Amino acid sequence: MSSTPTTFDVRADFPILSQTVHGTPLVYLDSGATSQKPQVVLDAEVDFLTRANSAVHRGAHTLAGEATELFEDARATVSGFLGARPEQLVWTSGATFALNLVAYAIGNATAGRGPSRFALAPGDEIVVTETEHHANLIPWQELAARTGAVLRSIPVRDDGTLDTDAAASLIGERTRVVAFTHVSNVLGIVNPVAELVALARTAGALTVLDACQSAPHLPFDFDALGVDLAAFSGHKMLGPYGVGGLLGRSDVLDDLPPFLTGGSMVTTVTLDEAHFLAAPQKFEAGTQPVSQAIGLAAAARYLEGLGMDAVHDRERTLERRMMAGLREIEGVRILGDASGVERVGIASFDVEGVHAHDVGQFLDDRGVAVRVGHHCAKPLHARFGLTASVRASTSVFTTDDEIDVFLDALAGVRPFFGVGA
Ligand code: PMP
């Protein structure tokens, strides 16, 4: 095994990174919100739109055939990249859509429009975690409200790890769905998927994984993870906006009723009724995100070219440098400062005595782009007694020097605002 740390010489692949902000080189540490896109992704979309743009699965003309082939090739590339088969990937506009799709499909089954194996009865339980992004929380709150199911949540410990003892007592015979994030978009900590899947399986519950913050950063193998469904987001994994997906075990996708209905998802339609295509088309009503899917396939090939083991390795180096530096700065409190846990390059923190927005502004003035606010995880912030934090997040293009520029700038925040010693 090589002891040389992985570095990637990829800066030139990301044209946006060469700019200056307020006269200083841009240090982009907001990939948790959206990653930058390499030129190959931009080219793939433009090339499709200039050469082959056409509606897929519809026309008999040449361009339509070519577009359909490229679109389905993209499905094969992206599903393969994520450890699934093409028919196990449903294109959506993003993870929010994918998670809502599942919740609404279960709602439809509950209303008698699907198999009873997915139907919820009053008193049945949906289990989430305290670390969820709102996209993997509110759809379940809404489903519970519509069905009479009860929403329960696995608490997080002070160090940011999930309380697995509590999980073991919360997941029980009334549990029908366990929906949880693979990696918290605030803490960057990798959750114990195998443990939660084992508990859910024993209870006979469906597992839904939010893979938004894991798929871009570590080798992601849907099949090996053993979850029933997983949602991911294209724009966070070097791909375009407006595309993401839902991965599903074939038996689950085959049985789950559709959420949206309309064109492109039917076999026969009369004025009285419709019959649906098999998955994944059953879930893809309307015009598909064609150029976006093709762009995302280019992103998957790009990441595959770097090697996801190497990407993960690189992220760990960046994450350790960032965490070590943050721990050194007086007045900085890291949310979820557990040591010895698996993480990706995401860290959120509070600067004592300075509002997160002021920290963000101060850093931006020095060219450093971070996210401030609640990062769509209000309950988790409340758990740590905060309404807002600052989040720095890395990607394959982040350099060690950029981490140092960020840490140096951050060290100047409290002195600048006259807080602390
Ligand atoms: N879940 C997590 C953990 C996220 O970080 C995000 C994006 N902030 C989402 C869900 C929503 O993803 P999308 O933008 O694709 O809807």
Q: How many whole angstroms from 241 Cα to the centroid of ligand 1? A: 12
Q: How many whole angstroms from 290 Cα to the centroid of ligand 1? A: 20
Q: Do 96 and 225 reside in the same domain of the chain? A: yes
Residue 89 counted as domain residue: yes
Q: Do 68 and 15 reside in the same domain of the chain? A: no
Cβ of 138 closer than 6 Å to ligand 1, yes or no, is no
Q: What is the pLDDT of residue 58?
A: 80
Cβ of 94 closer than 6 Å to ligand 1, yes or no, is yes
Residue 35 counted as domain residue: no
Q: What is the pLDDT of residue 4?
A: 62
pLDDT tens-digit series, residues 34-52: 999 999 999 999 999 999 9
- Per the CB < 8 A criterion, the answer to whether 262 and 269 are in contact is no
Q: Which atom of ligand 1 is nearest to the CA of 244?
A: 15
Residue 17 counted as domain residue: yes
Tokens 């609640």, located at residue: 374
Q: Do 297 and 253 reside in the same domain of the chain? A: yes
Q: Do 83 and 202 reside in the same domain of the chain? A: yes
Q: Do 213 and 342 reside in the same domain of the chain? A: no
Q: Do 142 and 158 reside in the same domain of the chain? A: yes
Q: What is the pLDDT of residue 2?
A: 45
Strand boundaries in 87-221, DSSP class E: 89-92, 125-129, 150-154, 175-181, 206-210
- Please compute the mean of the pLDDT values over residues 258-276 and round it to a whole number: 96
Cβ of 181 closer than 6 Å to ligand 1, yes or no, is yes
CA distances from 183 to 171, 240, 290, 341, 365 (A): 20, 21, 28, 12, 30
Cβ of 419 closer than 6 Å to ligand 1, yes or no, is no
pLDDT tens-digit series, residues 382-400: 999 999 999 999 999 999 9
Residue of 64, 151, 376, 419 marked active site: 376
Q: How many whole angstroms from 96 Cα to the centroid of ligand 1? A: 6
Domain that holds residue 375: 11-30+307-416
Q: Among 101, 128, 376, which residue has the most ligand 1 atoms within 8 Å of its CB, making it the best to mutate?
A: 376
Q: What is the pLDDT of residue 3?
A: 52
Last residue of a domain, one of 271, 304, 337: 304
How many folded domains does the chain comprise?
2
Per DSSP, helices labelled H in 59-113 are: 62-81, 95-110
Q: Which atom of ligand 1 is nearest to the CA of 95?
A: 15
Q: End-to-end alpha-carbon separation of the chain, Å?
A: 46
Q: Do 132 and 245 reside in the same domain of the chain? A: yes
Q: Do 81 and 67 reside in the same domain of the chain? A: yes
Q: Do 271 and 129 reside in the same domain of the chain? A: yes
Q: Do 87 and 203 reside in the same domain of the chain? A: yes
Q: How many whole angstroms from 420 Cα to the centroid of ligand 1? A: 35
Q: Hey, which residues does 190 pair with through a beta bridge?
A: 183
Exposed e or buried b per residue across 103-113, where buried means at least 16 C-beta atoms within 10 angstroms of its C-beta: bbbbbbbbeee
Q: Does the pTM exceed 0.85?
A: yes
Q: Do 300 and 315 reside in the same domain of the chain? A: no
Q: Do 50 and 22 reside in the same domain of the chain? A: no
CATH (domain of 230): 3.40.640.10
| Cα atoms in the 13 Å half-sphere on the side-chain side of 175 | 27
Residue 37 counted as domain residue: no
Cβ of 191 closer than 6 Å to ligand 1, yes or no, is no
pLDDT tens-digit series, residues 112-147: 999 999 999 999 999 999 999 999 999 999 999 999
Residue 36 counted as domain residue: no
| Residue at 221: amino acid letter | D
Residue 38 counted as domain residue: no
Last residue of a domain, one of 285, 304, 323: 304
- Please compute the mean of the pLDDT values over residues 406-411 and round it to a whole number: 98
Residue 6 counted as domain residue: no
pLDDT tens-digit series, residues 305-319: 999 999 999 999 999
pLDDT(419) > 80: yes
Q: Among 212, 238, 243, 395, which residue has the most ligand 1 atoms within 8 Å of its CB, making it the best to mutate?
A: 212
212 is catalytic: no
Q: What is the pLDDT of residue 420?
A: 83
Percent of the chain with pLDDT over 90: 96
CATH (domain of 16): 3.90.1150.10
Residue 105 counted as domain residue: yes
Q: What is the pLDDT of residue 7?
A: 77
pLDDT tens-digit series, residues 11-27: 999 999 999 999 999 99
Q: How many whole angstroms from 377 Cα to the centroid of ligand 1? A: 10
Q: What is the pLDDT of residue 59?
A: 78
Q: How many whole angstroms from 64 Cα to the centroid of ligand 1? A: 32
Last residue of a domain, one of 283, 304, 325: 304
Whole-angstrom distance, CA of residue 258 vs CA of residue 269: 15
